[in-house]
């Protein structure tokens, strides 16, 4: 696997090695020892989630608060998304800074999002199947979120507002 540090501390782009032949392909998507050796971060995932969404669906910007905060390793199994993570760690020198990347079933890139970040994605293909591993369990009472269009963040989404499909909950999230 290739690990690339972003300009935000502890936020990593991971590109697994793909072995392809006439039968198909094989890819190792996570290796705890290799992850720790490359990033210096110890991680244990306890929950896997998957969603399927249609073009224009924007899910985010979500996070879990307090003791239920979650680190995530995200990837796309089918289709293509614009993935975004926002640093919300109060003592971070990159507080309020975002990182965006296109994740797809073709490029097989993954993004490791540490605890203390808001996270979301926008589906760019007709449909997308999105997978994420979490290092903590989901707790409804600890949900938090940021408005996808918060002017303080200035995230350059790949689609115009009128093309976006958001949940009622995501439409009323506060800004930073």
- In the sheet that holds 117-123, the strands lie side by side as 98-104, 80-87, 117-123, 58-64, 143-145
Any catalytic annotation for residue 138? no
Which one is catalytic: 22, 62, 95, 148?
Answer: 62
Any catalytic annotation for residue 22? no
Which one is catalytic: 98, 119, 132, 148?
Answer: 132
Nearest to 126, CA basis, from 71, 74, 56, 175: 56
CB atoms within 10 A of CB 97: 15
Burial of 8 by CB count in 10 Å (0-12 exposed, 13-18 middle, 19+ buried)?
buried
User: Which positions are catalytic?
Assistant: 62, 132
């Amino acid at each position: 696997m290739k690990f690339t540090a972003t300009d935000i501390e502890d936020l990593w782009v991971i590109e697994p090695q793909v072995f392809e032949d006439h039968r198909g392909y094989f890819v190792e998507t996570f290796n705890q020892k290799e992850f720790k050796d490359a990033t210096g971060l110890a991680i244990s995932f306890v929950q896997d989630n998957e969603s399927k969404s249609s073009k224009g669906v924007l899910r985010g910007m979500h996070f879990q608060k307090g003791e239920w905060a979650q680190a995530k390793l995200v990837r796309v199994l089918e289709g293509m998304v614009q993935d975004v993570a926002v640093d919300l760690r109060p003592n971070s020198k990159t507080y309020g800074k975002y990182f965006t990347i296109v994740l797809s079933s073709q490029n097989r890139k993954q993004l490791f999002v540490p605890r203390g970040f808001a996270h979301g994605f926008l589906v760019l293909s007709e449909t997308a199947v999105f997978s994420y591993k979490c290092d903590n369990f989901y707790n409804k009472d600890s949900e938090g979120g940021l408005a996808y269009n918060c002017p303080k963040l200035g995230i350059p989404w790949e689609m115009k507002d009128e093309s976006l499909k958001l949940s009622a909950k995501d439409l009323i999230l506060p800004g930073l």
